[in-house]
Amino acid sequence: MLAGMATVRELHAILDNLAPPSSATSWDRVGLQVGDPHALVTGVMVTLDVTLNCIEAAKTAGANLIVAHHPPIWDPISRLDLRSIQARVLAACLRDDIAVIGFHTQWDAASGGVTDALAHALGLIDLEDCGEARETIQWKLVTFVPAGHEESLIDALSNAGAGVIGNYRRCAFLIPGEGTFMPGDGAQPTIGQPGEKEKVQEVRIEMTVPEGRRIAVQQALTSAHPYETPAMDWIALRDQLGPSYGRVGTLPHAHSLAQLASACADQFDCRPSVFGSEDVAINRVGVAGGASTSLWPSFVAAGAQVLVTGEARHDEIVSATESGLALVLLGHHASEQPGMKALHERLQKLSPIPCHLYSPRNGMAGKAW
């Protein structure tokens, strides 16, 4: 957790710790899209979409950073014509010094993210990954620090995004030992004198680093390390599969499709569209936020009887239901807003910066959706 004030860049590192950008789809546009990474953050607004009303709500709440699930910039911008809503949104952000970070498909798949929030809201148990998963590139950082400095260095590396393993943060392996060196002419050593051999009790530190955080972690290491020229080794690890974009779980008690749809309407405050036989007993449920019915073959293979998601194309509805997979379509907003609520709660715990949740259903910041 950060202490005191934080920059946009530091808040971005917290987000990447929650969900590495390498797990986002190749077509996504995640990351800082608007603003100065070195600006101090006065408040954070979490939202599905960056709209003019959301920007006004952020200003009212004193927030100058918007974390949006749907990035406002998708395609290269050739002009900023203020007759365009997108241009007006971007111009408003620039005018009011509001930074924007896109936090999209990486949060869909992440542990505790959009899909998990949807599953937990439905009360599913025994969750399993299902559907597409991207390979994530990882590095092992090895460095050496004088004994007594290891804790502060691990903190700095962790804040930059190192040492994340599943739901655990600040993971590091430490080995005490003895280091030796001789400073050359022109060196300004922290310990010892130029031209003289030196032996120091040191601690070897090993931490994993995702590809997207390697530069930030290296900068943090050189900034926080007491040595003038710290030693560091970067060891490439075998690519690993990140979390999938879907989950399959079990209902504690069997429901008919009609009962499940009714429960979804109450839980997510929506009018779901339902496809399938209403009277079939259901206990195996697949979930994925947004528009995820293209993954229906994976849910069928995993034994799901119904897929609860946001929306679907007509041809996907036909193919899925013909295969025997029922569908409950909540609407894009209803399927992803629980994930925004979960992100809001996580950021409140991880950062001292005031954090607010925006939903167009109430048009206000900081209220329950």
β pairing state of 138-146 and 173-181 = unpaired
The three-state secondary structure class of 353 is coil
- E-state strands within 182-303: 198-210, 232-236, 240-241, 246-256, 273-275, 281-287
Instruction: Grade residue 367 by pLDDT with cuts at 50, 70 and 90.
Output: very low
Of the CA atoms within 13 Å of residue 133, those in its CB half-sphere come to 18
Rg (CA), the chain: 24
Residue 181 to residue 188: CA distance in whole angstroms: 13
Its pTM stands at: 0.73
- Asked whether 107 and 17 are in contact (CB, 8 A), the reply is no
Task: Convert the pLDDT of each residue in 177-208 to its tens digit.
Answer: 999 999 998 888 888 899 899 999 999 999 99
Enumerate domains of the chain plus CATH numbers: 8-104+335-365 (3.40.1390.30), 114-132+244-333 (3.40.1390.30), 138-238 (3.30.70.120)
User: Looking at the predicted structure, is the pLDDT value of residue 366 above 80?
Assistant: no
Residue 291 to residue 315: CA distance in whole angstroms: 13
- Asked whether 327 and 295 are in contact (CB, 8 A), the reply is no
Residue 312 to residue 108: CA distance in whole angstroms: 17
Task: Convert the pLDDT of each residue in 234-286 to its tens digit.
Answer: 998 876 666 788 999 999 999 999 999 999 999 999 999 999 988 888 999 99
